[in-house]
Structure 1
């Protein structure tokens, strides 16, 4: 049941994502702004039809393959239900619940019957074409049942809603607390949907009955807004102040690394009201802070209610919605005063608790847990960062054989896996993830940020193709056509020379798991003592990273070689490196490729250990023939056959 509710919560994000468009159109068209009824009518077209939008969005979200056939089934389910049920009791108006139920039925029936097969003479109606048929039949039966069963259910919901709406400060405070407390599980979407789209009623000028806190606020209900107002101080001021406290308490040497991250997620929260990147940055590292955050959210809701502040949003309580709906609000300027006090309280409490309890917030992790700085370096090995992250995330999740399904919501991946114990949280954070939640043995959530959709799509493509080696992300082949590459990939001992003076060490000793575990491919590493990297092969330069810290080569026998100077050197942004070749240039063994300021790199990067990786070896065997200190130009270093 918990897993099912999580899937519903995830699916609710599809229809909820339409609300910003509706709110913008509705507000800009009203008289206090542009005064264009055409725009208001366009926005109302969404708000007034949320039922069928929920039916389509939820069915689509529940479909195992996100196929449009499921969306059609959801729409048919809604139309059948709402048209048939009123013939039994014309006073029934299920509102958004009709959409939620229709979406669930449509999505589940799609998953069950999308591949059903019939005899040849009925084959046309098989597969996905059968889904709308069985959906219509099912909803006809449900409409008959709900025609008699729904009135008492709705009466119970209305009673509960009225109790909460009339519970004053206690009601809004409890809702604010539960809203944040349930966020780690994703179930906050479920209670939000009930409060936002069903609680309370309002009859507009046209005689239409409007339900739900958001809908009523946007349509001008003077009583709507108490369950929305208190979120503005938290999202615009409180959580950004928490980021400032985490920055102030970070280790001195880590401030530069975490500062950019914390500023980015703080500004996102302030502007848009998207807070999950902040909350997941301390949720599991310091649960006590999260409980405090949930309590403070409840308090902010109660204070806003006590001050008779009424404000609302179409999507989330950020600065955009604050400004957009300012004209509809009551006492909106007081929210800024409350927000300022909230920011001070958040900073003070977070700062004191982090220091006194030595909480491991970002920038305060122990050295063996300090993954954030290496995450960017690990994801910068390829020219397509999203593809590289997808590869690393799949590997950290236990590989393609451990991943059953990939889905996502606003900021997090929602995954079904065979065994959650195979998921490596440390590796996920190295690849850029901000948090991991293991819901149970087969369900995990990974917090990524607002770019989660692109990562999920890249992961699905890689999983479908078996998650091919990461060298495809570097795209050596784009610079060298198939006709130019001989079939046999080999390097004889005399054809490969030591690229830089230093000590040869096994790849497994490199303090970067992406290299050490061979995710990029086999190879060896050098602890350099020289300051110039030379070409170890006869071939061609096919990839030069913008930050100059890594160069890709290809031999005339088709072997791809990546020389990655130092670890996490991508953050140096090219400083300390003097490039001596150009992309596409032909090179011979011993040609100088890169001159390095060893002292600068050693002082500003985690390590100067330089991996030498062979990125496209499949059936070939790599033998490292020498270890220890070797001079640049020494032959018989490796053999590939």
Structure 2
């Protein structure tokens, strides 16, 4: 049930992600701003049809391959469900809950029937074409049931909303407390959906957000309490953690904490902050939940009405300032909460010796040195994805990769295999092992790119990063790589300027996270094999090739930085995975004029991913090298 509810929460994020743009249009079109009715109408069209949008988005989220046939089934299912139910009882208003039901059913039926085989005379209606048909049939049955059952559900929702509103300060506090306490399980989206899009009625519109943006003067009481927390409280908590960090680690954590504090203030995205201390110091998270409840209660009792289209950050605060009630008072309350958060967090961390970022016991890496490495530049998504796959237990331990706004949601064979310490050391903000088969990793707002990179590597193999952050190397492999194989036998794979690996403008490579090597700034777009051996892997976007030399040396050639985003544009591969190659054989070509202005750099790292950690690459020459030129490096 927990996993099922989490899938609902994750699926809700797809349609919710479209709301900021709609809210912006709706707000800008109002008379007190641009006074352009058609812009306001464009934004309001999204909020008016939220139920349908939820049906489509959730169906896609539930479908195992996110296919558009599920979206069509979700839309058709909602139409059938709504029409059948209202034909039996005109007072029924399914709202977003009806859309959620239709989306779930459509997604589940898609997974069950998307590859169904029908008799030859019905074959045209088989496969994915069958899904909208069977969904409509299921909704016909549900519509009949809803016609008699839904009035009671509708009444129950009305009573719940009435109770929260009638409970006043207490109700607002309970909502704020539940919102934060459900966050670790990813279920806060479920309660948010009810409050944001279902509670209350104004000119036929429902939900705190929708009503507030459409001018309902009574809306926003259950939203305004977020602003002091997200704009002021949590950023202040970050600075408290910086102040409480160990002196030798303060500089290392300051950049990370200051960055996520700014993100919270500007956009209202708080999960990177919350997961930075949620499991390291649970008592702080309980304090945070209570302070959120207090903020909700205070703003409610003072009659402050404010709202947002995405989250309670400075962008929404400024945008909605003119339609909010008592927004300036809200700002001063935020300053007070900033002081409270800083003082409470700082002294709680000190008194209880809480292991917040910068105060953890040193986590030793394989070479015995403390490490807090975070991948933060260049092709970071590929590198981070490769590391996470290894830290989770390898490809064989991962059965499904999904994500929401800031976290990876993974189905695994055994979550106990995952190395939480290594996962956090390599850049994640937190790890949640829900049960044996469900694992969540908090990455941040760019989680979607990490998830995509993981899916690509899992689907096509991660051979381009074969020994990323190697465990203790096999002794025979070390012998082959460092003794039997001489560095002098490695030729330059590209023509251009020879550079030490530390000159690569990307920490993933310059700090040797994948291994030692060298780099070339190319002046010709042709890559040849630097060794005799075979192709061990070709990255799906064609910009990276893994090789295994005939004596076991493993080499990664990665053309340019951030070239993954080109999705293969400008690259041509001339070999396939498993092909035998000889020194000087053409591997790939790339169009320098086409890609040089689309990426940060064309500097190409050549990495030895299984080199003995006691050995280092030393350049034997400087300046320009020709492709296939030998005796350019040595292993010292």
On whether the aligned pair clears a TM of 0.5, the verdict is yes
Between the aligned partners of 2:249 and 2:168, the Cα distance in structure 1 is 45
Once the two structures are TM-superposed, the CA of residue 119 in structure 1 deviates from its matched residue by 1.9
Superposed CA offset, 1:340-394 (max 9, x none): 01000000000001111111111111112699944237x88xx632112111111
Task: Report the counterpart of residue 540 of structure 1 in structure 2.
Answer: 492
2:471 is aligned to 516
Cα distance in structure 2, aligned partners of 1:106 and 1:454: 27
For 1:276, the equivalent position in structure 2 comes to 271
Q: Structure 2: how far apart are the matches of 1:310 and 1:578?
A: 69
Cα distance in 1, alignment partners of residues 370 and 17 from structure 2: 30
Measure the CA separation in 1 of the matches of 2:465 and 2:19. Answer: 39
Asked if structure 1 preserves the Cα contact closer than 8 Å seen for 2:382 and 2:450, the reply is yes
Alpha carbons of structure 1 residues 300 and 540: separation in structure 2 relative to 1, 3 Å: same
Displacement of 1:201 = 1.1
Match in the other structure for 2:70: 70
2:183 aligns with: 183
Superposition map of 1:368-379 within 5 A: 368=363, 373-376=371-374
Asked whether the equivalents of residues 372 and 430 of structure 1 are also in contact (C-alpha less than 8 Å), the reply is: no
| 1-structure distance, mates of 2:159, 2:363 | 54
Question: 2:224, 2:202 → 1: CA distance?
Answer: 19
In the alignment, the residues of structure 1 paired with residue 620 and residue 219 of structure 2 have an alpha-carbon distance, to the nearest angstrom, of 63
Aligned pair count?
Answer: 531
Kept after mapping to 2: 8 A contact 1:226/1:309: yes
Distance in 2 of aligned mates of 1:372 and 1:579: 34
Residue 420 of structure 2 is aligned to residue 425 of structure 1: yes
Deviation at 1:299, TM superposition (A): 0.5
DSSP 3-state at the match of 2:290: helix
1:580 counterpart (603, 622, 626): 622
**1:464, distance to aligned residue in structure 2 (A):** 1.0
- 8 A contact 2:364–2:371 mirrored in 1: no
- Return the alpha-carbon distance in structure 2 between the equivalents of residues 330 and 441 of structure 1: 48
Matched with 2:409 is 414
Unaligned runs of 5+ in 2: 520-528, 534-548, 550-554, 556-605, 614-618
| Match for residue 551 of structure 1 among 517, 520, 525 | 517
What's the counterpart of residue 590 of structure 2? none
Pick the aligned partner of 2:310 from 301, 309, 315.
315
Q: CA deviation at 1:516?
A: 3.1
> Does the 8 A contact of 2:176 with 2:296 survive in 1?
yes
Aligned mates of 1:83, 1:16 — CA distance in 2? 25
Larger Rg: 1 or 2? 1
C-alpha spacing 1:59/1:518, structure 2 compared with 1 (3 Å): farther
Separation of aligned partners in 1, 2:73 and 2:329: 47
Q: Give the Å deviation of 1:101.
A: 0.8
Structure 1 position 515, deviation (Å): 2.8
Q: CA deviation at 1:586?
A: 5.7
SS state of the match for residue 317, structure 1?
coil
Alignment partners' CA distance in 2, 1:39 and 1:448: 35
Q: Given that residues 481 and 612 in structure 2 are in contact (C-alpha distance below 8 angstroms), is that contact kept between their aligned partners in structure 1?
A: no
Is it true that 1:239 corresponds to 2:234 in the alignment? Answer: yes
d(CA) in 1 for partners of 2:89 and 2:51? 19
Give the unaligned 5+ runs of structure 1.
204-208, 473-512, 528-533, 568-576, 594-611, 613-631, 633-641
| Counterpart residue number, 1:122 | 122
**What secondary structure is seen at the aligned counterpart in 2 of 1:274?**
coil
Task: Deviation per CA, 1:580-607: give whole Å up to 9, x if none.
Answer: 3457666543x568xxxxxxxxxxxxxx
Contact kept, 8 Å, 1:51 with 1:98, in 2: the verdict is yes
- How does 1:500-511 map onto structure 2 within 5 Å? none
Which of 227, 234, 238 is equivalent to 2:222? 227
- The C-alpha deviation readout for 1:272-331, integer Å capped at 9, x for no partner, is 000000000000000000000000000011111122111000110000000111111000
> 2:205 is paired with a residue of what secondary structure?
strand
- Give the stretch that moved more between structures: 420-429 or 340-349: 420-429
- Residue number in structure 1 paired with 2:429: 434
Q: Is the 8 A contact 2:23 2:309 kept in 1?
A: yes
Q: Which residue of 2 aligns with 1:287?
A: 282
Matched, 1:468 2:463: yes
CA distance in 2, matches of 1:12, 1:55: 9
| 3-state SS of 2:470 partner | helix
Residues 461-509 of structure 1 show CA distances to partners (whole Å, capped at 9, x for unaligned) of: 111123324069xxxxxxxxxxxxxxxxxxxxxxxxxxxxxxxxxxxxx
| Whole-Å separation in 1 of the counterparts to 2:15 and 2:140 | 24
**How far did residue 536 of structure 1 move?**
4.2
Change (3 A) 1:264 1:583: farther
C-alpha contact 2:26 2:42 (8 A) present in aligned 1:
yes
Question: Which residue does the alignment assign to 1:608?
Answer: none
SS in 2 for 1:145: helix
Which of 386, 391, 395 pairs up with 2:386? 391
Equivalences for residues 355-374 of structure 1 within 5 A: 355-368=350-363, 373-374=371-372
Q: 1:27 to 1:522 in 2, by over 3 A?
A: farther
Are the counterparts in 1 of residues 182 and 188 from structure 2 also a CA contact under 8 Å?
yes
1: CA distance between counterparts of 2:19 and 2:25?
10
Q: TM-score, normalised by structure 2?
A: 0.79
TM-superposed CA distance for 1:75, in Å, is 0.4
Alpha-carbon offset, residue 431 of structure 1: 2.4
Q: Secondary structure at the match of 1:220?
A: coil
Q: CA deviation at 1:228?
A: 0.3
The alignment's C-alpha RMSD in Å is 2.8
CA distance in 2, matches of 1:305, 1:40: 28
Rounded to whole Å, the distance in 1 between the matches of 2:48 and 2:82 is 14
Q: Return the alpha-carbon distance in structure 2 between the equivalents of residues 327 and 110 of structure 1.
A: 45
Q: How far apart are 1:72 and its partner, in Å? A: 0.8
Q: How much has 1:202 moved relative to structure 2?
A: 1.3
Map of 2:607 onto structure 1: 562
Deviation at 1:124, TM superposition (A): 1.4
Q: Does 1:31 align with 2:26?
A: no
Equivalence map 1:244-259=2 (5 Å)? 244-259=239-254
> Structure 1 residues 524, 303: CA separation in 2 closer, same or farther (over 3 Å shift)?
farther
Equivalent of 2:301 in 306, 326, 336? 306
Deviation at 1:395, TM superposition (A): 1.2
Instruction: Give the secondary structure class of the aligned counterpart of 2:409.
Output: strand
Report if the CA contact (8 A) 1:372-1:432 is conserved. Answer: no
Cα offsets for 1:542-592 (capped at 9, x unmatched): 58541556534864435337369999xxxxxxxxx9993457666543x56
